[in-house]
Amino acid sequence: MNMADDAQPGGKKKLIIIAVLAVVLLAGGGAAAWFFLNDSAPEPEIAQSGSAGSQAAPAVVESAYYVILPQPFIFNVTGDARDRLVQVKVQLMVRGDSNEAIAQQHIPLIESTLLQTFGAATVEQLRTPTGRLELRGQSLAAVQGALLKVSGRQAVERVLFTGFVMQ
């Protein structure tokens, strides 16, 4: 019976430790949920024009949609010592159903435009994070320009690199 009495307090200690850890995890999860779900963005209605009597209509922000391009882009880039093979996975961020439909309809044009833009890149440019950001900016400008010519709208708000490998 002496052994049974010794095992009991250790089991209670483990149970207390597990309970405390569970409470801490739940509190942390609740704090994280509150942090991410809390709407701390400034209201667009707060900003007013110069006159006190007139208010600007709040801008309606449409929902963001992501258009996944079906195939990753695989291309060669020139470098100082040797050429490199690069693979980039791309998604397009658009706002609203109509812009999503335009982007879906013109995926072959978008892919061609992106391939031309990627083909002009160099190894030195793609090695640095700022160079990749620059390429992403060039890609956005090229895609928006191409879509403006065929649909009359830029449609795409951002070009996102969701995968980037250079060998």
**Measured between alpha carbons, how far is 40 from 44 in angstroms, rounded to an integer?**
12
pLDDT tens sequence across 30-56: 666 655 566 544 444 444 444 444 455
Our CA dihedral for 138, 142, 147, 153, rounded to 10 degrees, sits at: 50
**Measured between alpha carbons, how far is 50 from 145 in angstroms, rounded to an integer?**
35
pTM across the whole model: 0.60
Window from 12-21, 93-102, 130-139, 149-158 with minimum mean pLDDT: 12-21
**8 Å CB contact between 124 and 80:** yes
Coil vs helix vs strand at 161:
strand
**Measured between alpha carbons, how far is 37 from 48 in angstroms, rounded to an integer?**
27
Return the CATH fold of 64-166: Tetrahydropterin Synthase; Chain A (3.30.479)
The reported pLDDT for the residue numbered 78 is 82
Number of neighbours of residue 138 by Cβ within 10 angstroms: 17
Q: Is 126 left (phi over 0), alpha (psi -120 to 50) or beta?
A: alpha
Domain residue limits, the chain: 64-166
Mean pLDDT score of the chain? 80
